[in-house]
Structure formats: structure tokens, C-alpha cells
Structure 1
Amino acid sequence: MTDKNSVIYQLDGKAKLSQAIPLGLQHILAMFVGNVTPLIIIANTLSMGLEDKAALIQSTMLISGLVTLIQCYKIGPFGARLPIVMGTSFSFVPVITAVGIKYGYEGVLGACLIGGFIQVMLGQVMQKLRKYFPPVVTGTVVLAMGISLLPTGINYFAGGFGASDFGSVSNLILGTIVLLTVLIFNQYTKGITSIASILIGLIVGYIVAIPMGKVDFSQLVSMSMISVPMPLRFGFEFHIDAIFAISCMYMVSAVETVGDTTAIATCGVGRDATDKELSGAVMADGVGGILGALFSVLPTTSFGQNVGIIAMTKVVNRNVVATGAGFLILAAIFPKFGAIISLMPASVLGGASVMMFAMIAVSGIKLITSEPLNNRNSTIVALALGIGVGLSFVPGVLANMPESIQLIFGDSGLVLVALIAVTLNIVLPKEQNKNDIVLNVAK
């Protein structure tokens, strides 16, 4: 039977390598494709050469691994000392695409560099802002985050964005095999096989995909064995409008990080996230943007996939996630190691992602209901989700608005969800509970 007193269920403590390696690798497999995909999209849009693209993918893995270690162990004020996995954020893709087409990749990196410093400053004042993020607000953001990620999971399940065989029977069968494998091992086995059910599902899916012709190993032949990522491959250009647009997306990243940090503390540690944890997490997010710009890659943010893993397994040991970060760094130095993982078909990842993303939404529901769901709180949740998430499902609503407004509010809807939830929490009158009413009547 699973020992709930094991160190893997504790924030601190040295986990055995026999546990830390598979559980850490599980985290990396879950986020690997999503981590490199945004950069691939931007590189293709800007017509980068194969050599530049390969080098930037290596740098992406290196920065993700380093910033994950900062989140796990903290350096000065940077980091939450929580098992937060960092990776390239999809939320930056639309605005970075627009900036890249207008100013080139140097303009993107200059704006990302400045935006990273702005987010670090934002993290320094998070303690003062904490009162504006009670459970009803953070829970609504986490719930919206899970809901907004579900289309991504389903897209992966069907074969991935833009796939020529999108929605094919083979993709749907492969995704279903992974989903059923995860479900069976999670619910019908005990011990390490239950905890590592996502990893087992991904491995089974990968193996099944090979005879189906969905994994092409020929790409590995031309890759070198060892290659160390180098900084400043590209230069910097600074443009005010680009800095403003990308800095707004750093605000989105901060909201996502606050939601992810809150969810990890709640569903993994069983308590609220502290002011220092939220502040350190957001500041580390900014550091990831700065380091990323120096190594010519896109900003990092906390990954929702990994929050879903923690919500499912309750494995919250930071050393386990740090072990996974070590795999990312190894993948950056040994290109073939990373390439083998990057060849994982999207439908395999989708089979695991659907459940993980749904678990994030469930974590949001638990946060919301940790306080009485009275009329006031119900109104906050309903309006924030109704307008914020609803708007993201119908992006054409903002077609006549300025492009910056479309990019900020029309992508995932998280910014609008957070803005509405925070505003309503401030302006709506507090409801007295029954005990307070009885005391007032007695007086």
C-alpha cells in the first residue's frame, strides 16, 4: 500500500533515486512538448534556419531547468521553495508573433528582457497585493486556467495544432490508450505504479506509436552528441510599443503563476500559499524572462500540466521536481536525449493532458468552496467565468478593438477573469454570517 508518510508526499526530505527519477521524469515528459512548441512556432513564423532553431530549443530546455531549480530551492528572494516546473508560455505566442513580424526577433528579445525586470518589480510588491487574492479570487483564476487549458489538451489528443492527420482515428485511439492506461494504473494499482501513472501512460503510448509510424527516429542521425547552449546568439532591439505589449503579457504570466502557486500549496501541501512564496514565485518568473532573453529564447512561466500532476498524485517533494529539472538540463547538453523525448506524438501527450488539465479545474473548485459559497462569492465566480472564459470562446467579440486589447483579453481570458474577480471582491459588500447577525441582534 502507498505510504502517505513517505518523503515524496512531504515538501522537504531526500527521496530515493528509485522514486525521484521516474517521478521527476514524469513531470518533464508532461511538459516537454509544450515547452518547446511555442519557440518552434515563432521560429517557423520568422523563417529561422534549422541550426538556429535547434540551438534555441537546447537553450529553452536549459533555461526551463535552471529556473525550475530556482523555484524549488530559492536564490535570495527569487523562488517559492515549492515544486513549480517552469517552461515556455503559450500565452506569449500571439503578441510575440506580432512583434516579431514588425521588428524581428531582436525586437522580441529586447521587449522580453525589459518585461522580465518589470515582473521582478511586480513580485516585490506581491505581499501588499495579497489581500486582493482571497480563495474565491485565486480559486476562480485556477478554475478558469483549467477550463482554458482543456481545448489545448483536446487539440493534442486529436494530433496537435496544424497536424495533417488532425482528428484521425489513429490519433484518437492512441490518445484513448494513454488516457485509459493512466486511469487504470492510477485507480487500480498501489505504490509507485499508481503515483507514476502518467509516466507509465506516456511510455505505453510512445511504444504503441512506434509501429503505427508516428515516431521518426531518422532525425537523430544528424544530431551531435554534446552541444552546450551559448548566450547572446541574437542581439537586442528596444521599441516602446513592443515593450508595452509584451510587458502586459508578463502580467498575464504573473496571474498564472499566482494561480499555479496557490494550487500547488493547496492541493499538494494542504495550506494556503504564503506571501513570500507568491512573491518569490512571481520574481522567479521574471528572472526566467531575463535569462531567457539573454539566451535568446522566450519567457518562462509556471506550467499548469505539472500542477495537474501534483493534484493527481499528491507528490509534492521539491527534490523530485528538481530531479526532473536535471533531466531538462541534460537534454540541453545532450541534444539526442532531448530529441528522443521531443519526438513523442502529440496525441500521446493529449491522452495524459486531458485528465491533468481537468484536475487543475477541480483544484480551483476546491479553493472556491474552501469558504462559504454565499450569494456574494457566487456572483464573483459567475461573472468572472461568464465574461472572462466566455469571451475567450468567442474571440471575434473584440474584433473591432485595438490589437493590443485583443491580444491581452482575447486569448485565454485569464486576465479578464482575474480583473473581474479582483474588482468584484473589492466593490461588493461583505455578507454577514449567521453568528454575526445573532450577536448584533443580541446587542
Structure 2
Amino acid sequence: MTDMTDGVYSDPNETPPLIEAVPLGLQHVLAMFASNVTPSIIVAGAAGLAFGGPEQVYLIQMAMLFAGIATLFQTIGLGPIGARLPIMQGTSFAFVGVLAGIAATQGLSVALTACLIGGVIHFFLGSVIQHLRFLFPPLITGLVILAIGLYLIPVAIKYAAGGAATFQMEAESFGSLMHWSVALSVVVVALVLKFFTKGIISNAAILIGLVVGYLLAIAFGMVNFSAVTNASLFMTPQPLPYGFEFSLGAVIAVTLVSIVSAIETVGDASATTKAGAGREATDKEIAGATYADGLGTAVAAVFGGLPNTSFSQNVGIVGMTGIMSRHVVTIGALFLILCGLLPKVGAVIASMPLPVLGGGVIVMFGMVAAAGLNVLSEVNMNRRNMVIIAVSLAAGLGLNLVPTAVQYLPGVVKTLMTSAVAPTAAVAIALNLLLPDEV
């Protein structure tokens, strides 16, 4: 499929024939599908929602629906909003650490309110994003992405081992051979398909691995289909399903991550134009991409969805196929919207046992950390930069692992200090501005 069209559609406004465009759009969805729904499952678990219950199903539906809507903001656009490039939007892993912490301690109402306000702030970053880029050289962005991955890896191991009582699993079965057999089957299948196949199968390796693990879990009697049976055929999103509850600390934490997410989107927009058209992204495209990021996040939050961002793995598909058509990605977005309106799709995903999901996120979260290391590989590892890395990671991850170390701080400050990502970013930015360059 890819050889037939390689390099032909380098203009974002061109559209391949439908017989090619539809499978290409589906290819974009398959590459990001698992990563898109996973953050909602994790945050729902942190909030104490019943595993496989209707509220978790709803959050999964919102992840699919608003990933599609946010993608339309990017590909079709509205005035200055949208890069009008083949950029796939999806639920962002960058916010998981912060939102899981907020949801666990203050509830989903506070978390989603922070997402709404953070999305509005993110939207307005589009007008100044070019002036903020100096604050986020590869040293900072790489560190933040690495911190996100390192924070999430223990979550992946917990899921693979069977979860815990807080996730509606039997505590005594934690770490059982059955759980690990299912989780490792996902890892093995995903790796084999990723590196020994090509095209759609390679890009959908993690999703196919999850399907194999899911089938194995069914064979082991681990899957309960009652939620699928009880799910309705169609759903209408509900505005503010958890209410509106303001917390300054939560808003500050989400906003800090939003800035990092905006810089990531700038990189994805630039990478997309380089990969598909051999040129740099224009200022208009970068601003439009950032506007779409923020608008997608704010609109999603109104209906219970988590923040959206551009998906880097889909940039790789543009580079692999040579197809820059934004309308191909629009087709993928429409497919996501359709899935988001069908609760039985969300119920099937929600019925997936935690060890199945754990196998997938071991790979996904590890790749987040590896992506951070890849960005840091561009950095000159002199003593100054190594000190910045050391102190930033020690502060961010250390306080997150030992939250009682700051238990006497005011609530707003404590939320920020224990969020892992926010202190890592803040310390790294401050040190990068204050420490003199080495000669």
C-alpha cells in the first residue's frame, strides 16, 4: 500500500483516492488507539472509579470522541485554529502523572476543571509560543519527557502484575504467574510485530498485542463481559459530568504541563512538514497547531475528556508513507468520533483486565522514557547539563516518591511539589537560566 503512493501526495490539500485514503486513515488510528485510551483508564483508576464500570467506560468514550474532534480542529481548522497538516491528536500521556495525583486526592471534578482552564491558557499560548521556545531547549523537553516516562513505569508494572485492591482486583493474586503470562504475551507479540513486519501491522503492533493478550485473558476466565452487555448502543456527551471545582494548585500544575505539551506540538508540526514535504513549518502552522491543542483540551474537559496533544508516532507514519494529505488524517478522526459515540466500544476496552493493559503500557511508558533520552542525546553532556539533569530528576521524582517529605506545605504548593513533572520542569528551567554556560 505504501509503495504505491510513496512521495506522491506532498501537499496537505491533496487527497488520495478513497480506496487508498480510507486504509491510510485507519492506519493512523491503529497507531495511536491504545495510547489514546490508556490515560483515561489510569486516571479513572486513580480516582477510584469501578474498573469496567459505567463511569470508566464514559471516560474512555470521551477519549476517543474528543481525540477525533481535536484532530478535526487540526486538519480542517477554523480561522487561525489548526495547522491544516496531517497531525493526529490524542489524549496526552504528559498529563497523566499530574491528573492521577489530583484525581486521587481532590477528585475528578478538580482535575477536569483544571484541564478546562489549562486548555484555555494553552489556547492563548498559540499567540506567544514562538517567544517561549527559548525556555524549552532539548535539555528541558528531554528531561520532562524522561520524567513522565519514569513516573509512569511503576504504574505499568503494577498493572502487569494484576493491579491492586484499589483497582478492584484481588490483592492476593497480585504478581501471579497467570497475570504475568498475559502481560508478557502482549509485550512479546508487540515486539515481534513491530520489528519483523511492516506497514499497518507494524504500526498497530501494540494494539494487536493487546488483542492477543485480551483473547488469552478470556481463555483464562479473567474477562467479565457484563459491562459490554449493559452498555447502550449510542451515547450523548454530558457537559460537566463531574461538576466544576476550582483548585489553584491543580490549575498551575496542569498549566505547566500544558506549556511543555505546546512545545511538543511545535516539534511535531515541524517534524511533520520535514517528513512529508521537506520544509520547515511556518509560524502560522505552529500557532494554528497550538491553538488547536488548547481548544481540543478545553472542549474535551467540558464533557469529561482529558487533555489532547499531537501524537508523535503518527508523524512517523507521514514519514514512512510520504503522504502529507491532511484529509487522510481527517478520515481517521471521523472513525474515532464514531467509536466515541458507541458505548459498547468503550465497554469492551474497559473490560480488558489490568494485566493485558499492563503489558501494553510497559512498552508504551518505556517508549516515553526512551523518547526523552532520544531528545537528550542532542544535548552536550558537560558538567553543567549533567548537574541540571541530576538535580531536576532528583527533585521531581524524589518528592513524588516520598510525598510526606513536604506534607506541611500549603495544599497548592504540595500539589505542585509532588506532581513529578512540574517540579522537574521548574527546577530544570530555573537552573538552565541561572547556571553559566561552560566554556
TM-score, L = length of structure 2: 0.79
- 1:325–1:376 distance in 2 versus 1, CA, 3 Å: same
Q: Does the 8 A contact of 2:67 with 2:89 survive in 1? A: no
**2:32 aligns with one of 27, 32, 38:** 27
1:300, 1:340 → 2: CA distance? 23
Q: Is the 8 A contact 2:193 2:201 kept in 1?
A: yes
Residues in 1 aligned to 2:364 and 2:314: alpha-carbon distance in whole angstroms: 6
Residue aligning to 1:437: none
Structure 2 residue corresponding to 1:83, chosen from 82, 88, 92:
88
The size of the alignment, in residue pairs, is: 416
Aligned position for 2:147: 144
Residue 397 of structure 1 aligns to a residue in which SS? helix
- 1:246 equivalent to 2:250? Answer yes
Q: Is the 8 A contact 2:119 2:258 kept in 1?
A: no
- Does the 8 Å CA contact 1:115/1:243 hold for their aligned counterparts? no
| CA distance, structure 2, for counterparts of residue 256 and residue 155 of structure 1 | 27
- Shift of residue 172, structure 1, vs aligned partner: 0.9
Deviation at 1:131, TM superposition (A): 1.0
Matched, 1:385 2:390: no
Equivalence for 1:427: 434
1:177 deviates by: 0.6
Contact 2:33 2:207 in 1 (8 A): no
Which residue of 2 is the match for residue 92 of structure 1?
99
1:56-96 superposed Cα distances (whole Å, 9 cap, x missing partner): 65445423331233245543444454333235943224335
Distance 1:319 1:8, change over 3 A: farther
User: How big is the shift at 1:113?
Assistant: 4.1
After superposition, the Cα gap between the structure-2 partners of 1:313 and 1:63, relative to the gap in structure 1 and judged at 3 Å, is closer
Kindly indicate whether residue 201 of structure 2 is the aligned counterpart of residue 193 of structure 1.
Answer: yes
1:414 aligns with 2:421: yes
Superposition pairs of residues 250-261 of structure 1, within 5 angstroms = 250-258=254-262, 260-261=264-265
Which string of whole-angstrom CA distances, capped at 9 and with x for unpartnered residues, describes residues 171-190 of structure 1?
11111011011111222334
Give the 5 Å matches for 1:309-348. 322-348=330-356
Could you tell me which amino acid in structure 2 is paired with residue 95 of structure 1?
I
Q: Tell me, in whole angstroms, the C-alpha distance in 1 between the residues paired with 2:43 and 2:299.
A: 17
The worse-fitting range, judged by mean Cα deviation, of 223-232 and 174-183 is 223-232
- Asked whether the equivalents of residues 311 and 359 of structure 1 are also in contact (C-alpha less than 8 Å), the reply is no
**Could you tell me which amino acid in structure 2 is paired with residue 405 of structure 1?**
V
For residue 422 of structure 1, report the CA deviation from its aligned partner. Answer: 1.2
**What's the offset of the Cα at 1:225?**
1.8
Contact 1:10 1:315 in 2 (8 A): no
Q: Shift in Å at residue 314 of structure 1?
A: 6.7
Aligned position for 1:395: 403
User: Is 1:134 aligned to residue 137 of structure 2?
Assistant: yes
3-state SS in 2 of match to 1:372: coil
Deviation string 1:129-181 (CA, Å, 9 cap, x unpaired) is: 11111111111212222222212222222233533243222111111011011
Map 1:213-232 onto structure 2 (within 5 A): 213-231=221-239
Q: Which residue of the partner structure matches residue 441 of structure 1?
A: none
2:378 is aligned with 1:370? yes
- Whole-angstrom CA distance in 1 between matches of 2:127 and 2:214: 43
RMSD: 3.8
Cα distance between partner residues in 2 of 1:77 and 1:384? 36
Report the alpha carbon displacement of residue 254 of structure 1 after superposing the two structures with TM: 0.9
Given that 1:2 and 1:190 are in contact with CA atoms closer than 8 Å, whether structure 2 keeps it comes out as no
Secondary structure of the structure 2 residue equivalent to 1:120: helix
- For 1:35, the aligned partner's letter is S
1:64/1:262 CA distance change after superposition, 3 Å:
same
TM-aligned CA deviation for residue 23 of structure 1 = 4.5
Rounded to whole Å, the distance in 1 between the matches of 2:55 and 2:203 is: 38
Pair 309,332 (structure 1): closer, same or farther in 2 beyond 3 Å: closer
Which TM-score applies when normalising by structure 1? 0.78
Tell me the percent identity.
34
Match of 1:116 among 114, 119, 122: 119
1:353 alignment partner in structure 2: 361
Please state how far the C-alpha of 1:108 moved relative to its aligned partner.
6.7
- 1:292 aligned partner: 300
Change (3 A) 1:410 1:322: farther
- Aligned amino acid, residue 207 of structure 1: L
- Mark the CA change 1:367 to 1:109 in structure 2 (over 3 Å): closer, same or farther: closer
Distance 1:364 1:73 in 2: 30
Shift of 1:356: 2.2
Unaligned ranges ≥5, structure 1: 433-443
